[in-house]
Amino acid sequence: MPIEKVSKHTSRIAAVQIMYQKDIINIEIGKILHNFINHYMLEAEEHKDINLRFFKRLVNHFTDTSVDFEDIISKNLLNEKTFYSISIINKSILKVAIIEMIFEKTDIPVIITEYVEITKLFSDRASVKFVNAMLDKISKQIERKCLVNV
C-alpha cells in the first residue's frame, strides 16, 4: 500500500479518535488536539505514519458551525432511530466522514470505504452495515464545498 494512502487512513482513524474524545468529554478541541499530538502520537507506534496536514484539516472543521451534524444524520435515519440512540463511536465516525465529504476532494466511494473499514475497528457488524448505509444515503445529499468554484 502506498505511504500516502496508509497515512491518510491513519489520519482518519486519529480524527475519529479525536472526535470521540470531543463527544465524550466535551472539552475544547484545541486541548484534545494538543494532548494527542504532543503525547499520544509520540508514543503510539500506529500513528507514526500519520499525514499531519490532512489530519489537521479534518480536525479543524470539528467546530465549524456551518455543519449541523445532528440535522444531517437525523434526516437520514431509518427504522425510527434517533440521533441520540446512535452509539457515540458511530456518531463520531459519521461526523468525520461528513467533514471529509464536505471539505475534501476525496472521491465519495473512497470516503465510504475508508470509514466502513474504520467502523470495523471500533464497532460490531451491525454498526458496519449501519454506517455504510448512512454514508451512502448522506453522500447523495451532501453539498461538497471543496468542489464549489469560489
Is the pLDDT reported for residue 80 higher than 90? Answer: no
**What pLDDT sits at residue 1?**
42
Sign for the CA dihedral angle at 130, 25, 50, 123 comes to: negative
**What pLDDT sits at residue 43?**
66
pLDDT tens for 15-33 read 999 999 988 987 788 888 8
Confidence of residue 2 (pLDDT cuts 50, 70, 90): very low
- Does domain 3-147 fall into CATH 1.10.940.10? yes
% of the chain beyond a pLDDT of 90: 57
DSSP 123: S
Q: pTM of this prediction?
A: 0.87
Query: How many other CB atoms are there within 10 angstroms of residue 65's CB atom?
Result: 5
Q: Packing angle between helix 88-103 and helix 125-139, nearest 10 degrees? A: 30
DSSP 31: H
More confident residue, 118 or 62: 118
Extents of the domains making up the chain: 3-147
pLDDT tens for 104-120 read 999 999 999 999 999 99
CA atoms within 13 A on the CB side of 8: 15
